[in-house]
């Protein structure tokens, strides 16, 4: 059985502040590995190792750092199947999706490696003679990276890769439910020859080591992805210390279907947005807003499509969705399923899984007939539960879409160019997409949300380079 371990200053350490068995969410009888938890001393050691490594790493040329990132990409690609397999076993994401996620990680490493030789400033004409005035981006120092379990490979890499290419060193605290995958990922990186201390992996519970990480060690920045409640707490701690922070948080993403939408193409995208990864994506479609003129034909087509998707163990290559990730996820999501069964009309339902009692399987459902203020319409469920609302026209649909504390992603399905443009202008979300599902934003584009979904900076693409650097304005006079 595999075990989680810390990697600090180039040394593997098995922490002993707690131990538990990791269960396969697709089959609770199967033990996948052992989780070992850190105490505060590991966080302190990790900061010391990262601080020491910063000196040499930040002084490498961008081209030299790029060479390291290309090696990490090649190493990860060569271990793609192994990493994907372990992640599917640990947190239940279907293997086909998980392979795609690892490949996204490889592509992110290559994308950010290439930044090592790109311009990192601009020349600004001076008003004075013989003065060269320009900007340059400099690294921040030691960055704390805190990640969730739902994208156990892609999210850590979309933070670590830009942090490293910009010259920072990293302390990475993954979610407990993705710690075996995190250990595997760092094993792959360590074998690829990444210098000691450049990345330091500390496995542990946020409630046990979060305070020391965020309040006691001298961190220079924090990048967090996770729930809005933890994210806003972290933002407050960072603001108090005046260190740079970025929090990517929850969503309640809407897909609007107008009466001119092409149903044959629209329905599969809605189903995929809502139920791939068992709805455990921050960008999952959790509200479907349908224009009255197409309501009957849309709900009929949706009902048929949902009834045909396959709920199966994560390692089944035909699984459309697998179980939810853990016992706590199962409990939370089932409380919303119960609420839907008691208070809503279930207008679409997926098939049951044969081994239902063996894993954390939840039949996907679409609930309708609810008020716009109902918890199923307003709260993030983070499971295979979507809610459907009816709107009389585009204006009402946009108003419903924007009636949310979240603002991560939103979609519109239409063939009308005017509505498409108005939607891009009027929808209050960081990612607005026409005739595309709410999930699936490409890695070379900025990723992030409005309102309580984000602290308003962006990840991925070129935007990440702004977060992981500080801008210096330079001026030099020559006599
Ligand atoms: P979570 O907030 O429970 O945990 C996220 C991370 O924070 C974990 O590593 C956890 O251990 C850590 N943590 C918890 N308490 C902490 C503390 N006091 N101090 C420091 N760290 C602490 O979230 P989760 O259940 O792992 O992930 C699901 C959530 O993540 C959902 O709300 C989802 O929408 C969100 N998410 C957002 C995005 C995005 O980009 N916006 C992407 C994926 C997931």
- Phi/psi-derived region of residue 141, left when phi > 0, alpha when psi is between -120 and 50, beta in every other case: left
Q: What pLDDT is recorded for position 1?
A: 86
pLDDT at 274 over 90: yes
Among the listed residues 101, 166, 238, 282, the single catalytic one is 282
3-state secondary structure of 409: strand
Among 58-72, 75-89, 355-369, which is the least confidently predicted range?
A: 355-369
- Say which residue the tokens 């972290």 belong to: 234
The verdict on the CB of residue 226 being under 6 Å from ligand 1 is yes
Question: For residue 282, which atom of ligand 1 is closest to its CA?
Answer: 34
**How confident is the model over 282-335, as pLDDT tens digits?**
999 999 999 999 999 999 999 999 999 999 999 999 999 999 999 999 999 999
The stretches of 166-243 forming alpha helices (DSSP H) are 179-191, 206-211, 228-241
The verdict on the CB of residue 409 being under 6 Å from ligand 1 is no
- Say which residue the tokens 């009834």 belong to: 307
The verdict on the CB of residue 146 being under 6 Å from ligand 1 is yes
Q: What pLDDT is recorded for position 141?
A: 98
**How confident is the model over 393-433, as pLDDT tens digits?**
999 999 999 999 999 999 999 999 999 999 999 999 999 99
- The residue whose CA has the least distance to atom 20 of ligand 1 is 210
Among the listed residues 115, 176, 248, 380, the single catalytic one is 248
* Mean of pLDDT values over 85-96: 98
Q: Can 90 be counted among the known catalytic residues?
A: no
Cα(194) to ligand 1 centroid in Å equals 27
Query: Contact, 409 vs 402, CB < 8 A?
Result: no
pTM exceeds cut of 0.85: yes
Q: What pLDDT is recorded for position 352?
A: 84
CA distance 205 to 208: 5
Q: What pLDDT is recorded for position 357?
A: 66
Q: What pLDDT is recorded for position 355?
A: 58
pLDDT at 13 over 90: yes
Cα(474) to ligand 1 centroid in Å equals 38
**How confident is the model over 205-218, as pLDDT tens digits?**
999 999 999 999 99
The stretches of 92-205 forming alpha helices (DSSP H) are 95-114, 154-165, 179-191
Cα(250) to ligand 1 centroid in Å equals 9
pLDDT at 356 over 60: no
- The residue whose CA has the least distance to atom 40 of ligand 1 is 248
The verdict on the CB of residue 457 being under 6 Å from ligand 1 is no
Handedness of CA 145, 429, 456, 231 (dihedral sign): negative
CA distance 123 to 231: 37
Residue 22 pairs in a beta bridge with 33
Question: For residue 248, which atom of ligand 1 is closest to its CA?
Answer: 41
| pLDDT confidence bin for 70, thresholds 50/70/90 | very high
- The residue whose CA has the least distance to atom 23 of ligand 1 is 226
The verdict on the CB of residue 407 being under 6 Å from ligand 1 is no
Q: Rounded mean pLDDT of the chain? A: 97
* Mean of pLDDT values over 115-136: 97
Handedness of CA 224, 230, 231, 234 (dihedral sign): negative
Nearby residues of 384 by Cβ (< 8 Å), 6 or more positions away: 274, 275, 278, 279, 321, 324, 333, 350, 362, 363, 364, 365
Q: Can 282 be counted among the known catalytic residues?
A: yes
Residue to mutate (ligand 1; options 226, 329, 336, 441; most atoms within 8 A of CB): 226
Structural tokens at position 412? 């519109």
Q: What pLDDT is recorded for position 353?
A: 80
CA distance 228 to 453: 7
Q: CA-based Rg of the chain, rounded to a whole angstrom?
A: 23
The full set of domains in the chain, from first to last, is 2-249+454-477 (3.40.605.10), 253-442 (3.40.309.10)
Structural tokens at position 285? 């479609």
Neighbours of 322 (CB within 10 A): 31
CA distance 43 to 202: 7
| pLDDT confidence bin for 230, thresholds 50/70/90 | very high
Question: For residue 175, which atom of ligand 1 is closest to its CA?
Answer: 9
Cα(225) to ligand 1 centroid in Å equals 5
In degrees, to the nearest 5, what angle opens at C-alpha 266 toward C-alphas 261 and 272? 155
- The residue whose CA has the least distance to atom 8 of ligand 1 is 175
Structural tokens at position 125? 């004409």
**How confident is the model over 107-121, as pLDDT tens digits?**
999 999 999 999 999
Residue to mutate (ligand 1; options 35, 101, 146, 148; most atoms within 8 A of CB): 148
Is residue 401 classed exposed, middle or buried when 0-12, 13-18 and 19+ CB atoms within 10 A define those classes? buried
**How confident is the model over 159-181, as pLDDT tens digits?**
999 999 999 999 999 999 999 99
* Mean of pLDDT values over 122-128: 98
Nearest to 360 by CA among 273, 252, 271, 279: 279
* Mean of pLDDT values over 124-151: 98
The verdict on the CB of residue 150 being under 6 Å from ligand 1 is yes
């Amino acid at each position: 059985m595999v075990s989680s371990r810390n990697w600090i200053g180039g040394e593997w350490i098995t922490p002993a502040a707690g131990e538990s068995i990791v269960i396969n969410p697709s089959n609770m009888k199967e033990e996948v590995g052992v989780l070992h938890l850190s105490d505060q001393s590991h966080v302190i050691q990790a900061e010391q190792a990262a601080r020491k490594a910063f000196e040499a790493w930040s002084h490498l040329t961008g081209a030299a750092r790029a060479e390291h990132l290309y090696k990490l990409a090649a190493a990860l690609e060569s271990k793609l199947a192994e990493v994907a397999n372990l992640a599917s076993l640990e947190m239940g994401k279907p293997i086909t999706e998980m392979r795609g996620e690892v490949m996204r990680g490889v592509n992110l490493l290559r994308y950010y490696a290439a930044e090592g030789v790109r311009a990192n400033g601009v020349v600004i004409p001076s008003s004075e003679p013989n003065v060269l005035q320009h900007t340059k981006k400099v690294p921040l120092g030691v960055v704390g990276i805190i990640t969730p379990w739902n994208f156990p490979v892609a999210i850590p890499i979309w933070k670590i890769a830009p942090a490293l290419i910009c010259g920072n060193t990293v302390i990475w605290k993954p979610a407990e439910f993705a710690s075996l995958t995190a250990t595997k990922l760092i094993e792959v990186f360590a074998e690829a020859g990444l210098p000691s201390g450049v990345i330091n992996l500390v496995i542990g519970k946020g409630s046990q080591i979060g305070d020391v990480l965020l309040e006691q060690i001298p961190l220079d920045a924090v990048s967090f992805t996770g729930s809005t409640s933890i994210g806003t707490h972290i933002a407050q701690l960072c603001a108090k210390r005046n260190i740079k922070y970025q929090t990517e948080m929850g969503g309640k993403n809407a897909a609007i279907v107008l009466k001119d939408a092409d149903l044959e193409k629209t329905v599969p995208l809605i189903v995929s947005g809502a139920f791939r990864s068992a709805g455990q994506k921050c960008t999952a479609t959790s509200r479907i807003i349908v224009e009255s003129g197409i309501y009957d034909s849309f709900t009929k087509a949706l009902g048929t499509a949902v009834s045909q998707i396959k709920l199966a163990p994560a390692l089944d290559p035909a699984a459309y969705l697998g179980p939810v990730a853990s016992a706590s996820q199962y409990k939370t999501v089932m409380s919303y399923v119960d609420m839907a069964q008691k208070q809503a009309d279930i207008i679409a339902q997926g098939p049951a899984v044969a081994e239902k009692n063996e894993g954390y399987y939840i039949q996907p459902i679409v609930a309708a007939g609810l008020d716009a203020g109902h918890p199923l319409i307003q709260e993030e469920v983070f499971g295979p539960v979507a809610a459907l609302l009816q709107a009389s026209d585009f204006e009402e649909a946009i108003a419903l879409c924007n009636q949310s504390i979240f603002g991560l992603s939103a979609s519109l399905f239409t063939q009308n160019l005017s509505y498409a443009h108005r939607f891009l202008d009027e929808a209050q979300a960081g990612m607005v997409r026409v005739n595309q599902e709410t999930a699936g934003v490409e890695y070379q584009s900025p990723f992030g949300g409005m309102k309580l979904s984000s602290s308003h900076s962006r990840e991925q693409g070129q935007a990440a380079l702004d977060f992981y650097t500080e801008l210096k304005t330079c001026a030099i006079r020559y006599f």
